[in-house]
Structure 1
């Protein structure tokens, strides 16, 4: 079924690669006007060209999600160009692993700034424009690490757990305001994305390379295989569409059964 988000305007942070790119391509294919933001300008432009070559509509904006002024600018540009915002995918995130005993305060704050402050700022500045259009769908990217602990990922777990409960609180606030804005979180499991280049080697003492995701999945995931960005994008599409009109404050876990075990 095509056109599931036809005519909607969607903002996707961290959209230049990985899950963000997968979400941008999927939403564009289903009719959304996609605004991709990231710090990776060359890759962002590449995603826009790919979407446009496939007949979709997309544009790219340079964007540091930890900078409130940058958020104000991005939302203002969307208001000027499109007069509405229907979907926000707060996807931008980083993974910095390592022992809590060796983690510096600078590293802790850097991860918190991107993974948690960035989500807060996105929600704060997107909701007013969504309300002007009669509502919308906010999709905050958490993780299975926001549902269960993981050794040597304390900082990452803290931020993703924070996203989970922040999402529920804002969902209740919007529901109470009857503003038509739904807020949900998505929790990916072992997905083949560039984030493993940052956290893989630090989670296994003595390792100097990202983990073998196929081997890890064979052991840890009940379905026995890793996931791909399109697996997450399919869930994001559903939350972005009117098919999920009665869903808010929920956790969409897409992990091959990892958290069930």
Structure 2
């Protein structure tokens, strides 16, 4: 992989909470709301849960085990909000529905859903088992769609809801050895665009808002990992994520505070779009929703030769 292949921003990127998304500006912005965060045991998910708690939301945190979420629970409770901790495999439909039911019984109706749980197996498909490849599709795409499918009827009945899908810049680029990851994140991003249009069909736009959010370069158990030794032995210098450790310079709070800002309703004009949390949301809002949609900004698209169009 060569990062230069994808371009370099000429506008400075944000690498810490800024302006409208700071804790001070979002204090109480989500007071009384109930937020669900999947994959919340550590890293980005933990940062999202804590930011939502700081903005006043009561938080339900989910991961494969309750024990691994102890630190996240403690950090959220320190903000004076209610916190529920739940063990849930997001690829198991019965478990997802039962967990959502339990959350609403214990914390109240859910207002915010953040689909963060994800996995990465950095191997070329030809050296991977199909089960390993498909597991990434299940966790990264099926999981969010199961939680969304469970929540949408409830949001419809209440006439409001916010869904934030933690996507990735990987949804927009071709990176060898990450087929399961880039495919699942592209699918999740496309689903976000399409589901927002479905909300419009049912008269639920903008009452129900969906967003696809790139969390930035966060050094977690997944971000910055390297390929296996057998891959290195076969291909040599593969320029994997570990090679580009200097790109991982964003704290979980940058994504977390962006989620809290979106959940507050201040980013409704960006609903249905792909957002990079390093890019100042003020600039996007200044561009305007109509212009963003007309110019196909912040959506997955294909550019053809001049004169050709993506005809039906």
TM-score of the alignment, normalized to the shorter chain, above 0.5: yes
| Aligned position for 1:184 | 211
- Name the SS for the 2:217 alignment partner: coil
Residue-by-residue CA offset, 1:143-193 (whole Å, 9 max, x unaligned): 010111112111210011111101111111112212321111001332111
Q: How many residues get paired?
A: 249
Which residue of the partner structure matches residue 71 of structure 2?
46
What is residue 130 of structure 1 aligned with on the other side? Answer: 155
Q: Indicate yes or no: 2:104 matched with 1:79.
A: yes
**Cα distance in 2 between the residues matched to 1:231 and 1:40:** 25
Q: How many angstroms does 1:230 deviate by? A: 0.8
- Scaled by the length of structure 2, the TM-score of the pair is 0.74
Q: Structure 1 residue 212: deviation in Å?
A: 6.0
1:213 to 1:234, Cα distance in 2 relative to 1, 3 A: farther
Which shows bigger deviation, 245-254 or 67-76?
245-254
Any stretches of 5+ residues in structure 1 without a counterpart?
Answer: 218-224
2:242 to 192, 208, 211: 211
2:121 to 80, 91, 96: 96
Classify the secondary structure of the residue corresponding to 1:19. helix
* Long gaps (5+) in structure 2: 1-24, 281-312
Q: Is contact 2:254–2:278 with CA below 8 Å preserved after alignment?
A: no
**Structure 1 residue 22 and structure 2 residue 22: aligned?**
no
Pick closer, same or farther for the CA change 1:254–1:243 going to 2, 3 Å.
Answer: closer
Structure 1 SS opposite 2:269 = coil
Q: Which residue of 1 aligns with 2:257?
A: 234
The answer to whether structure 1 residue 196 and structure 2 residue 223 are counterparts is yes
Structure 2 partner of 1:250: 273
User: 1:151 maps to what in 2?
Assistant: 176
C-alpha separation in 2, matches of 1:177 and 1:122: 19
